Structure 1
Amino acid sequence: MLRPIRSYSLSNVLMIIFSLIFICIIGMLSLIQYNSVASDLQGQFSDEISKTDLILNHSVSVLFEALNLYDSRYDYEMEMVLSRLSDNYVKSGNDIEQINLTGFKEEISPIFPGDVDLYVINSDNIIEKTTYDPDIYLNFNEYPEFSKSLNNIRNNSRFVADQWVDSINTPGYYRKYAYFPTPDHRYILEIGVHSDEFWQARRDVFSYEKLGSSILEINPDLLSISFFNKKLDPISELPSQDHPSINSSLTHYITIEDLNSTLISVFTHKEGQIHDTGSYLIDFQYFTIRRNITPSSSEMSVASVLVYSRDNLNRSLSTYLIIHMSITLFAVILAILFAIYISGHISRPLEQVIEDIEQIARGDYHHGIRKTGGTDIDRLGHSVELMVQKILFDIEMIQRGHEEIAAELVRRKEAEEALIIVNNKLNNLSSITRHDILNQVTCIRGYAFLAENSTDTEESVIHARHIQRISCLIEEMIAFSRDYQTIGISGSSWQNLGHVIHRAISVPFSDRISLDVSGTNILILADPLLQKVFYNLADNSLTHGGPGGERVHISFEKTETCGIIIYEDQGMGISDSDKELIFERGYGTGTGLGLFLIREILAITGMTIKENGLRGSGVRFEIHVPPTQWKEDSNN
């Protein structure tokens, strides 16, 4: 009775597990697909906005160029009039008070449609004289960019035409202006023309309303588009698509305070901004004339406010979400039905196979798969057995390969390091044997020849002393060759620094050196020739240190990055120019091998040495020991 219950329980468990897995997979795939669609829709929404902005930028640029061309209609007549006025100024002796602007205005009025007025702007950029009383003494310095343009006009000698612009003292009274400097560059002569017919035609043909209407037709998500000038005045009146009764006030989408503050920021920084309110995307764009071809070009900048709706995007996303949820629900029902079938026909024999596989997974690779009576399950078991056998074979081959490769790498590395050391030693030893010693032998033969042919006993004694001195040098070179040859052969070992110093200095130089040691109860991982380092340093102090060279102090300091062995004496010290050269082979008054040997011995275990003492205050050698090369000697 127990076995059927156990099988039935396993079937239920497998059914639940399979259903959950299938549901998770279908749900995950559906979620991935929905996210992909949502991402595509978001991308299309952003692309359409970018496309709209691009078309708007191009359209505004074309509109600016068209306005510049249209505004040049009366440039020729205005230049002719200002040129005549300049001639009158010259004839009056450059006295602006002698010019009758009113009479000249009556003379030229028939040339232009509508009203015409004349102005004289002094060097302070103030209107000093005019036929239009509201603008008398108007100070253009309050408009820095325009004032700068006036200074450029005054300092040149050419006619400059402006665009149709709004009057400063009479808002809504648009005029076409032009400028001409007097020959003495003291004044700027200005003419202004107003024509309701010309201005109305300009507004009707080159309309921001028409431009905005054409842009609204491009993007169905665009609800509203408005244009503003630098004074934050609207220059178009277009109704919103979703709120026809609201004419470009934008109050349904953004507060007046936020609108004005954002427009000020756009005109100040000369760049657009985007406000995302969730349901709406408010796009602020900045437009300016690309070429400052007129004095008022800087004042002709325009800002647009475009309001995009996410309603279409959200509706599409909701539709796709419903579709994917329906697909997921259908997949869940299908998964449950399929899981019931699987649990009833596969789970029982599969349980036995799983037990065998678990036994193999625990490391018993020689455990076989038992027969279940089911053809497909038995084939699965046979495949698992073949796979296990292949895994065993591959593991064995990989282990062999790893062992062989590791051993080969170790052998190659050791051989390369040994070859480098041997080559360096052979080169140096060959140089000493072949060059340095032979040179000294040549000197001996020379002094021997002189001594042999000398009749003066005292002179022969001097030659013999030279021969003895050179023989000592040869002996030192041979001793160096012996020491140098043994560097690195015996391998590094941990040595007590205090004991090494004692054997190197206290024993051989006990009666000639006053030694002071502190903090040297340290173990150093170094070549067995470490003792030779301190012996050579002490020998140099006695030989080259002069008075005070026999007083030696050795200490050990710990830093965050390394340990430092400090060797000091109170002799003459070493000049700055020799601090690096003293470690070169052959440099110095002796054989030049002592400090070179020191550096080679230290380099075997990654230690470095440098001299940083002050000339006249003794030497100071610092030996830097890597942090892994020293430790406290707790046994001593």
Structure 2
Amino acid sequence: MGKPDAAIPQRHSFSRYLLLCMMVLVLCVVGFLTVNDYLYTKQNFNHEEYLLQVQTEQNIEQAIRLKDAIWNTYDSSLNDLMRQGLVQVAAEYEHAGRDPARMDLVQLKKQIGEDFDIYIIDENGVIVYTTYAPELGMDFTTIPSFYRYLSKIRNAEGFYPDRIVNELKGEGKFRKYAYQPTPDHRYILELGLIGQSFENVNEKVEVNDNIDSIIAVNPYVERYRVFNSLGRLSEDNSLPEPAVQEHLKKVSQTRSNLEVVDADKGITTRYLFLDLVDETYGSDPSRIIEITYSQKLIQESLNALLLFHLVTGAAAIIFGCIIAFFLSRWINRPVQEIVSDIEIISKGNLEHRIRPTENREFAILETSINSMVDSLRQGVQQMKDEEIFKKEMIDQLPVGVFLKRVDNGRYIFWNKTNEILFHMRAADIVGKTDREIFPPGIVAAIEKEDSRIISNPHEVISKIEDFRSPGGGVLHSLTVPILDSTGKLQYILGICQDVSHENINLKMDLLFSLTRHDILDNLSVIMNHLERAQLIKSHEAMDTFFEKTLGSVSSIRNQISSMRALQDRGLVTPAWQSVERAIDDARSLLSGPPPDIQMEVEGIEINADPLLPRIFSILLENSLKSGSRPASFIRVSARESGGILHIIYQDDSMGIPEDEKESIFGSAYDGNSVRGLFLIRELLAFTGINIREIGVYGKGTIFDIHVPAGKFRRKTR
């Protein structure tokens, strides 16, 4: 009953799944604790770093501002000395006739003091005369803000002291500057004071020591540097590397802070701008502090923490897995017992019972499985009984039934009616494919039909075809797709029935209908001639009367003879017939003189219904008796295209209107132009032949008869 062990998929056991679940649980707990602690510690480090950063930057700013305040106090005490010196320079300018070239600056310097240097700046912002050679020719337009300040002084009046700053050229020493415009506003007189006292004061208020102390408290700072507003180092007035110069330039222009992050190296460099500018002075004592922070210490601490958690987690995982292993085996023992019993049952032993267990849940499972097995045993027995009943019932049906699988094409059922219809025993069919049973021609047709079913599994194929078994006949078959509960095609069901008797009755009805109609037409003609015969007086008219009357009588005789011949030959089985001879036989069924027909169908035979002559006789009668314009020319030709034979019937009658080309083949058509076309289409359809009208109204009637491949041949002499 059950499948063999080899067919059972190899899957993991429940105990293994349970063990894996426990291991995953341990991993999740350890992983969660590790990640949570790691993120929490990292957050604390980042917060601590941020607080230290804020505190460090605030302390550095306060230290620099304190130094600036001390310098301002000392700077202001020198303003009177600078004013007195500029008074002497201005007097010398007047004494030289306001011509700087005539001024004796060297002698003037000796009078004022050796610690002073004199500068004369022209209206272009260039030092044109000075006692300090390194700064001769200095162009202040290169410092736009300071040049604007000098231009303002030159066009004003009075004394303008400046801050103690580093000289731009020379040795970069500290100098105290002051300015005064000439009375003619052509020049600016500048005085620069230098002295050892500046260096002494600078050493006493040296801010770097304080900053070093501040930086030492912050372990995340790698280095710091202090720059003036011109981007030079405050310590030695030197220029930094080009990349830093660009950052300093940007900070000076925007007068705001800048942060540069190097993620690859874990370094963040901050440029803090301390705005110390005083509008009353020309120099800008503002400072830019470069502080480089490193994440190295934080990352090392986090790595150490992570390593600790990994070691601890690995130990916890190993310990947890050991516990999970023994725990899963203990929990899984009742399951293994139930599985063992189920395997015995699955092999067909439905009398076997699930052994009792102590656990309540497993006891419920035990009872449920035993109940299910009992139901299954009863269901199997009932299914076997129903299967026998259905098989016997289908076997006794008066129609042939077969069933075959879609996946391998093998027949799994063939009832007794099929054995009678096809003279093939079920033992010779079941378990075989079409290729093992039928000849290649039939196999190709069956496979084509199966492919159609497979591509459209919701289609039912119904067809009537020749019955090629001994005795002949007509077979009506249905091909039905059988789907499973998921909608997938599983089987192909075939139902077939011998409808030869019904086909004979149908054709006899058609034949009697046609013959009765034609005989009545001929009798009407005879009665009409007899009525007119009473008025005939000449011998020639009487001969014409007898000729027409005898033609109608001959037509009736030929129709009755044709019907008797068909009854003798049989109305069911199609036969190979010459198209040319069928047309000749059709001409003999006409009541009047046979028309001339241009035939181009020599040697062509088609496998058609025995009533083929009657089909052509209907077409000829419609051509000769067309109400609006009878035909005077009829031609029947044939051509082959794409494996299909086209028999073209053509005349020069009025033709069929465009809107009636399809309705003329309907059973309810009552037009006067044509008749009997419904019967023609039905008779041709018995053998798979089709007919349609393709002519142009007013230019004649053209019927195109399609004969499919295998239903026509050319007979050679």
Q: Could you state the TM-score of these two structures normalised by the residue count of structure 2?
A: 0.40
Which structure is larger by alpha-carbon Rg, 1 or 2? 2
